[in-house]
A and B are shown apart, each in its own frame.
Chain A
Amino acid sequence: MRLLLVEDEVDIQSFLRCSLEEAGYQVEAAADGKTAERLAADGVYDVLIVDLGLPDQDGITLILRLRQMGVRAPVLILSARRSVDDRVRGLEQGGDDYLTKPFALAELLARLRNLIRRNSPQPSEATRLRVQDLELDLLRREALRSGQDLQLTPQEFVLLEYLCRNAGRVVTRSMILDQVWGMRIQPDTNVVDVHIYRLRGKVDGKGQQPLIRTLRGVGYVLKDK
C-alpha cells in the first residue's frame, strides 16, 4: 500500500511515518502543497493523508487540485481546527474521511483501512465470523466459544462482532463508542471498560485462553493467533 502523507509539522510527520511504515504502508511524505502535487504527479498512491493547515496552501485546495490532476485515491483529512468547514463536509460526502487532532494511532489506522476497503471491490458479506475457537453467527445473532453458546445480550453481541471484525487490530474506546453505540463522546468514566469486562467474563471463561486483551492507554484487541 502506497501512502502519501502531507503534513507540515515535523514532529507529527516523523511519528506518523514511523507508525504507518510499521503498519505496513510505503510512506512518501511532503511538508507542503507544492511537494505534494509533484509527488502525486510522479507516483500512484492507494491512500492520502492531508493536513488542512499547510504553509503554502489550504489543504482542501490541495485536495481539489489533486482531484483535478486525476488522483482518485481516498483522502484522510487531518485537522486541528475546531470547526468543520462546509467544504470538508462536502469532501466527506465524496468518500473521504476526517479526523481531528489529537488522535489515537489505532483510530487513524482503522480509518485508513476503512477508506481503502470502501475503494476496493467488496467481498460478499459473510454470515459467520470465526476467530480461533470463537464463532459468531451473524444471522441468528449467536456467539459460540468451543461450541458453547455464550448467551450474549444483543448489545454484547454487537460489541463482540466489532472486535471480531477488527481481530488482531487495536480498537480504542472512542472507536467502540462511535461504532457500537453511535456516539462521538469522551466519557469521564470507564463505561466502555465495564462493558468489555462483562463481555470478557462471558467470552474468556475459566481454563480458556483469554482472547480479549487490554492495551492500557490505547484500547483493546481481540487476539487472532
Chain B
Amino acid sequence: MSSKTSKPVMRSAAWRISLWATLAFACGTMLAFVFLQSFVANDIQRRSDAWLSGEVEVLGDVAERTPKDALYDRVVGEVAELAGKEVPNKLPSESNSNDSVFFLQTGLDGSLKLWVGTGNGAADLKAIQATSVVSDRPVDVRVSGFGVPFRVASTKIGDGTRIYLGLSERDELRVLRSLRLRFFVLWLLLVLLGFLIVFFTTRRMLSHVRGITEAASRIGSTDLNTRVPTTMRNDEVAQLALTLNHMLDRIENSMHQLHTITDSLAHDLRSPLTAIRGKLETSLSTARDGEQAEPIVCAIEELDRLTDFLNKSLDVAEAKADALRLSPSEIDMDELLRAMIDLYEPSMSDKTLRVSLTSGGPLKIVADAALIHRMIANLFDNELKHLPAGCRVSIRLEPKNGAASLVLEDNGPGFEDEIRPHLFERRVKGRESNGHGLGLAFVEAVVRAHGGTVSASNRQGGGAQIAISLPLAPREGAHFPVAVMSGSK
C-alpha cells in the first residue's frame, strides 16, 4: 500500500463494508440477547411464583391450624419470617432487616390483622386492595415508597380471612440487570472485535485490488512488460488479477504484432532507400558540376522526403493504435520554443512574417524529445508554408490546470471550411498545400501519445488557432508513471 494514493480511511470501501457488517452483527446479537433475556426473566419469575404459591399455601395451612389465641400472631409471624429467609434469587443484603418479603393477613372486614415485614403494612394493604389480589396466582403489586413492584400471592383460609405473601422483585430485577450489564459489555467487545476483524480482512483483500488497480494504471499504454501482482490464493481477487494479466498478454501480443509489422515495413523500405541514396551520392561526387548533377540532387531530395514521409506515417499509424514507443526525458518547452523561433525566424522574416512568444519562463514536461521537436517543427513549417506575407504568428506558453498550454495563433486566412472537421486525419490538406497531408495528423499523434489534447479552430477575427496541452512534469521526487520501454527514432 503506497501512501500517495491512500484516501481517508472513512471513505474506503473496507470502512463501509465493515460498518454494515458490524451493524448487522450488532443487531443480530442484540436480538438474540433480547430473546434470551426474556426467557431468563420468565424462568426467574416462574421460579419465584412457584415459591410464592407454595409458601402461601403452607402459610395458609399454618394460619388455619393455629388456634386463634394470643399466641397466634407470634406463631404465624415466625413461620412467615422463616419462610422469608428462603427467598429464591436472594442476594446478600447489607442490612439484617428483610425488606424483600412481607406477610399480611386481613380480617373479614378487609382491615390489617397481622403484618410481618418492614414498616406497618398500611401502604402494602392499600396497594393490594387497589389491585384486588384474589386468586393464589401471583400478580404484580406496586407499593408506594418502593421502587420495584412486589409479586403477591394470596389465599383464603377457612375463617374467611385472607393472607397475602409478597415478594419484592428487586432481587430478580437485580439479577436481570447484572445479566444485561455483563451482556452489554461483552456485546460491545464482540462488536468492536468483529468490526476490527472485518475491517482488517476487507482492507487486506481490497489492498490486493488496489494493488492491481495501481499496477494496471501504471502499465498504461507504454509499458506493457509488467503485469499486475497475483496472489497464490484462488479467490475472486486472484482471478481478477489473472484475467487482467491474460488481457494484457493479448494486448501486448497485438501491440508487438503491430510493432513487428511497422518495423519490418520500415526495414524493408529503408534498406533499398539506403542503397539508392548511397549510389546517388556516389554518382553526385563524380558528376558534381554541370547539368548532370541537377537530376541527382532532385532525386536525393525526393528520397529524403520519402523517408520523412515513411517515418511520419508509421508514427501516426502507431499513435492511432496507442502504440507509439516513447523514450521520455525532461524538456523545457520555453527553451525549446525559443530555440525553434531562433531557427525559423530568418525564414519567416524573409517572408515578412512576424513571430512572437509570450511565456512565463521555464515550463517542464516529460516527453520524447525527438517526437516533440519534430511536432513543434511541424507547426512552424505549417505556418511558414501556408501564411501569406505580412502575417503575424503569436505563440503563448503558460501552465494551465497542471498542463503546459501552448497556443499558436496567426492572422492569416485560417483553415478552409471543408477540411476543418477533418484537420487531424491523415491525407487531409488544404487545396493550396503541396505537403503529404500528415502534418496535423502527426501533431495530434504525438500529443495523444503523451496524454495531451490538441484542438484547431479559426479565430473570430480571422486566422487559425492551434491549442495544445501537454501534462507538466511531475514535481521533484514524484514517481513518473510511464516507464521506458523502447524509443523510436
Contacts and interface: CB of A to CB of B under 8 A. Distances in A.
A195 B325 CA distance: 33
Given A12-B278, A82-B263, A82-B266, A218 B486 contact: no
Nearest to B268: A80
A198 B346 contact: yes
Interface stretch (B14-22, B56-64, B294-302): B294-302
A194 interface: yes
B277 A102 contact: yes
B399 to A, nearest CB: 24
- Do most interface residues of chain B lie in helix, strand or loop, or is the interface mixed? helix
Contacts, number: 140
Interface string A196-221: 00100000000000000001111000
A85 B325 CA distance: 11
B406 to A, nearest CB: 17
Contacts of B274: 9, 12, 80, 101-103
B263 A83 contact: yes
B304 A186 contact: yes
B293 A216 contact: yes
B279 A11 contact: yes
B308 interface: yes
B271 A101 contact: yes
A101 B270 contact: yes
B429 to A, nearest CB: 12
A189 B486 contact: no
A105 interface: yes
B118 interface: no
> In the complex, which range does the number of interface residues on chain B fall in?
35 or more
Interface stretch (B85-93, B133-141, B240-248, B370-378): B370-378
B275 interface: yes
A83 B300 CA distance: 24
Contact of B273 (A18, A102, A155, A189): A102
B413 interface: no
Nearest to B269: A80
B319 to A, nearest CB: 13
A184 B278 contact: no
Interface string A139-158: 00000000000000001000
A186 B301 CA distance: 12
Contacts of B282: 15, 18-19
A188 to B, nearest CB: 5
Interface in B368-426: 370, 373-374, 377-378, 380-381, 384-385
A101 B373 contact: no
Contacts of B298: 217
A188 B288 CA distance: 25
A194 B373 contact: no
Interface in B3-36: none
A16 B293 CA distance: 20
Given A155-B342, A188-B435, A218-B284, A85 B486 contact: yes
Given A15-B275, A16-B278, A101-B273, 11 more contacts: A12-B274, A80-B266, A86-B484, A102-B276, A184-B374, A184-B489, A190-B347, A194-B347, A216-B293, A217-B296, A217-B301
30 contacts: A9-B274, A12-B274, A12-B275, A15-B275, A16-B278, A53-B267, A80-B274, A81-B267, A82-B262, A82-B488, A84-B327, A84-B486, A84-B489, A89-B327, A100-B489, A101-B270, A101-B273, A103-B274, A103-B277, A105-B278, A177-B343, A185-B374, A187-B381, A188-B308, A190-B347, A191-B346, A191-B384, A194-B347, A195-B346, A217-B284
